[in-house]
Chains A and B, each alone.
Chain A
Amino acid sequence: MERNLTHIALFAALIAVLSLVPKIDLISGVPITAQSLGIMLCGTVLGAKRGAAAVLLFLALVALGLPLLSGGRGGIGVFMGPSVGYLVGFPVAAFVAGLVVERWRAPIGVAAFAGAVLGGILLLSAFGIVGLRAYSVLIAEGVADAKTFTWVQAVAAATPFLIGDTIKAVLAGAITQSLARLRPDSVLSRA
């Protein structure tokens, strides 16, 4: 019980620290960071439920005003920006990544990479795209002549992340494998 709690809390802190890797802002206003590596690791190392809990804990503290998000952003304002879809998708991404590692009995590095791709790239991008489109519709609602993102444009805005995300999924697989070798009892997704 205590162990579950401290692992969830420490990995929430790990997401925050990984977000300090220098970031580049894309033209769509959604930044590139190692934050998604933290999200993937929460799932692949802690497992589905605990991984999602760690991400939710992280998001709760961001909402309360801690500047833990990439670029030192925080507060409820970030949930009112165009990248809100990614924020909503974070816990789901960690859950799915963890589920793959728990259920698929392949070598842990392979399973972690597959989980990171499925949850941390495919699913998370889908959330980001739907979020971007929904946000542009909501913010333009009722304004005459206002434009909204088409689906094609929303997909185009999310595409530049895929290169970095693929690198991060490989890293997530490698790091999870190393952790499983160094601390077999602490990798709760396979414990």
Chain B
Amino acid sequence: MLTLISPTETPLHRMPACLKLGAVAAGTVLALRVTSLPGTAGLLAGLGLTLLALGPGFARQAGQHLLALWPVVAIILIWHGWSGHWTAGAVVAGRMVFAIGLATLMTMTTRLADLLALAERGLAPLARLGMNPRAIALAMALVIRFTPVLLDKAAALRQAWQARSPKRPRTAIALPLALAALDDADHVAEALRARGGL
């Protein structure tokens, strides 16, 4: 569950992560330069064709991510259309969808390991400030490992609640969950120290 990457391998998966990150940044700046409706339509058509070229399944998955934006798009369009400025509304909404779509494309085609490596390289200069980049990388790995663990505990707590009460637990499981996080943190700290520490 812990990733948004597309399971279907595309040529973009093999592209270096830093190159894709640069492309997303450049594309976003470009989108903010385009001020006309045909220009925005061109950008969106380009993005759509790229998604389709990567396969119909891939395009559908990306479309589902972007579909979550519909309330924002609807507000922008109605709000502008109210005063008769449909074109301006379409350009503004189109720019936003393009920038977010581009970022989604990168997220869907870049393996977490590659991004972690990129982040570790980016964090390397922090060593001069007295911070330990390896400790940060370890902390990231711990979050990735322990989010599913805590999710399982949350599910167990919810089931235990539902076995005793017809009501939904809502926030009642927050305290035992926070307690579990504190205790797990102590156990992992002990285990790390037993293995020689950081």
Q: Which A residues fall within an 8 A CB radius of B?
A: 1-3, 5-14, 16-18, 20-21, 25, 27-29, 34, 37, 41, 45, 57-58, 60-61, 64-68, 71, 73-77, 79-82, 138-147, 171, 174-175, 178-179, 182-183, 186-187
Contacts and interface: CB of A to CB of B under 8 A. Distances in A.
Chain A interface helix/strand/loop/mixed: helix
Interface in B69-125: 69, 71-72, 75, 79-80, 83, 85, 87-89, 91-92, 95-96, 99-101, 103-104, 106-108, 110, 112, 115-116, 119
A76 B143 contact: no
B100 A179 contact: no
B129 to A, nearest CB: 14
B47 interface: no
B171 A183 contact: no
A135 B21 CA distance: 21
A10 B107 contact: no
B189 A147 contact: no
Interface residues of B, number: 75
B177 A1 contact: no
A21 B170 contact: yes
3 tightest CB-CB pairs across the interface, nearest first?
A75-B107, A77-B103, A9-B142
Contacts of A74: 4, 107
Contacts of B65: 77
B110 to A, nearest CB: 7
Which secondary structure dominates chain B's binding surface?
A: helix
Contacts of A13: 142-143, 146-147, 149-150, 181
B151 interface: yes
Contacts of B136: 57
Contacts of A73: 68
B177 A18 contact: yes
Nearest to B135: A5
A143 B76 CA distance: 13
A44 to B, nearest CB: 10
B138 A67 contact: no
